[in-house]
Chain A
Amino acid sequence: MNFFKNNLFTKTSKYGKAIAMTLLMTVLFSCEKALEQFPSNAFANDNFWTSEPNTKIALTGMYRGSMTYGTQVNPTDWWNYAGLIFLEFATDNLYDRRGDNSMQNRLTNGTLLPDNAVILGYWSGSYRRIAICNDFLENIDKVKIEQAKIDRMKAEAMFIRATQYFYLSQYFGAVPLVKKKLTPIEANNVDKAPKSEVVKFVIDELTLAATKLPSFGALKADETGRASKQAALAFLGRIYLAEKKFTEASAAYKQIIDLGANIIDPDYQSLFTPANENSSENIFSMQYVPGETSNALTQHAFPAVASGWHIVNPTGSIADAYGFNDGTPLSYDNPKFNYKNMGENRDPRFRYNFLWDGTKFGSKTYVCHPDSTKSLDQLTYSKQATRTGYGLRKFFDENFTGSLVTDYGGNLPIIRYAEVLLSYLEAELEAGKPISQALLDQTINAVRGRASVKMPPIRVTDSNLLRPILRNERRIELAFEGIRLWDIFRWDIGDQVLKGDFWGAPFPNSQLYAKTSKKLDPKFRWFVTSKNFRKGIDDRWPIPQSEVNVNPKLK
Chain B
Amino acid sequence: MAMPAKAQELLDTKVNLSLSNVSLENSIREIEKTSQVKFSYNSRALKLTQKVNISAHNESLSSVLSRLLTPLDISYVQVSNRIVLRSDDKKVITQSEVFSKLDNQLIDELNIRGTVVDAKGEKLPGVNVAVKGSTRGTSTNSNGEFTIAVPDNKSVLVISFVGYKSQEVLVGNNSILNLVLIEDNKALEEVVVVGYGTQKKVNVIGSVSQISSKDIDNRPVTQASQAITGQMPGVTVIQNTGRPGSSGGQIRVRGVGSFGATPDALILIDGIAGTMNDINPNDIKTISVLKDASSAAIFGARSANGVILITTKNGTSDKLSVSYDGYVGFNDATAFPDFVNSADYASMFNIASGSQSFSPASIEKYRNQSDPDNFPNTRFLDEVFSRSGVQTAHTVTLNGGTNKNRFYLSGGFLNQEGIVEKNSFSRYNQRLTMQNKLSNKIELNTRIFGTLETRKEPQATANKGGGFLDQLIQNAIRYPSIFTGKNSNGDFGVGPESGGTPVSWLASDSYLRNPNSRFGINSKLDWKPINGLTLSAIGGYNFSLFEQRSYLASQRLNANVFQSQAYLNQSSDKVIFKTMQYTGEYSKEINRHNFSLLAGYSFEEQNESYFNGYKQDFPSNDYTVLDLGGFANQLVGGYDADWVIQSFFSRAKYSFNDRYLFEATIRRDGSSRFPTGNKYATFPSAAVGWRISEESFMKSLAWITDMKLKASWGVLGNQNIGNYPYQQVLNSGRNYPFGNTISVGAAYSLYRDPNIKWESTETNDFGLESSFFNGSLNLNVTYFNRNTRDILFRPSSSVSTILGVGISETNTGAVENTGWEFDLGYRGEKGKWKYSLNGNFSIINNKVLTLGLGNVNQPNGYVGNGSDLFIGFPMQMYYGYLSDGVFLNAGDISAWPVQTAVTPRPQAGDIRYKDISGPNGVPDGKVDPIYDRAYLGSRIPKYTFGANLGLSYSNFDLSVFMQGVAGVKGTLTGYAGYAFFNLGNIQKWQMDGRFKPDQPERYPDYPRLEEVTNSGTPNTVTSDFWIINAAYLRVKNIQLGYNLPKNILEKMRLNNLKLYVTGENMFSFNSFRQGWDPEINTGGDYYPILRTYTFGINLKF
Contact = CB atoms under 8 A, between A and B. Distances in A.
A113 B930 CA distance: 12
A448 interface: no
Contacts of B732: 41-43
Contact of B856 (A39, A278, A550): A550
B867 interface: yes
A350 B983 CA distance: 30
A251 B463 CA distance: 50
Contacts of B540: none
Contact of B462 (A40, A222, A403): A403
B354 A111 contact: no
Nearest to B859: A552
Interface size class of B (residues with CB under 8 A): 35 or more
Interface stretch (A208-216, A287-295, A318-326, A476-484): A287-295
A62 B903 CA distance: 39
Interface stretch (A125-133, A436-444, A491-499): A125-133
A37 B723 contact: yes
Interface in B591-618: 601, 603, 605, 616
Given A37-B723, A60-B738, A289-B740, A549 B529 contact: no
Contact of A101 (B494, B498, B730, B1012): B1012
A10 interface: yes
Nearest to A42: B729
B1083 to A, nearest CB: 15
Interface string B458-477: 00001101000000000000
Interface in B312-332: none
B529 A17 contact: yes
Interface in A367-393: 373-374, 376, 380-384
B679 A25 contact: no
Contacts, number: 338
A304 B498 contact: yes
Interface string A38-62: 1111111110100000001111111
A429 B1015 CA distance: 42
Contacts of B357: 380-382, 516
B1052 interface: no
Contacts of A406: 616, 633
Nearest to B752: A45
A338 interface: no
A148 interface: no
B905 A39 contact: no
A546 interface: yes
A142 to B, nearest CB: 13
Interface in B765-820: 795, 797-805, 807, 810
A224 B740 contact: yes
A414 interface: no
Interface string B899-915: 00110110000000000
Interface stretch (A176-184, A198-206, A354-362, A463-471): A176-184
Interface string B1060-1074: 000000000000000
Interface string A163-181: 0000000000000101001
Contacts of A225: 736-739
Interface in A112-133: 112-115, 117, 120, 123-124, 127-132
Interface string B731-745: 110111111111111
B646 A188 contact: no
A278 B859 CA distance: 52
Interface stretch (A27-35, A238-246, A265-273, A327-335): A27-35
Contacts of A221: 739
Contacts of A56: 743
Contacts of A461: none
A373 B799 CA distance: 51
B565 A188 contact: no
Contacts of A545: 866, 929
A146 interface: no
A131 B748 contact: yes
A32 B679 CA distance: 10
A21 B734 CA distance: 54
A185 B739 contact: no
Nearest to B638: A41
A74 interface: yes
B742 A98 contact: no
B374 A374 contact: yes
Given A62-B747, A293-B735, A103 B854 contact: no
What 9 A-B pairs are tightest by C-beta distance, nearest first? A131-B804, A549-B866, A60-B745, A61-B747, A111-B904, A124-B801, A187-B803, A291-B633, A61-B734
Given A131-B803, A552-B858, 7 more contacts: A31-B644, A39-B723, A62-B747, A64-B745, A73-B1015, A176-B802, A517-B355
28 contacts: A1-B438, A1-B444, A4-B438, A9-B438, A21-B529, A25-B537, A31-B644, A34-B603, A41-B639, A44-B729, A45-B728, A62-B747, A101-B1017, A102-B1013, A110-B904, A114-B929, A182-B802, A182-B804, A222-B738, A287-B740, A307-B497, A376-B494, A407-B632, A409-B740, A545-B929, A546-B797, A548-B930, A551-B856
Interface of A: 1, 4-5, 9-10, 17-18, 21, 24-26, 28, 31-32, 34-46, 48, 56-65, 67, 73-74, 98-99, 101-103, 110-115, 117, 120, 123-124, 127-132, 134-136, 176, 178, 181-185, 187-188, 190, 220-226, 278, 287-293, 304-309, 373-374, 376, 380-384, 401-407, 409, 512, 515-518, 544-552, 554
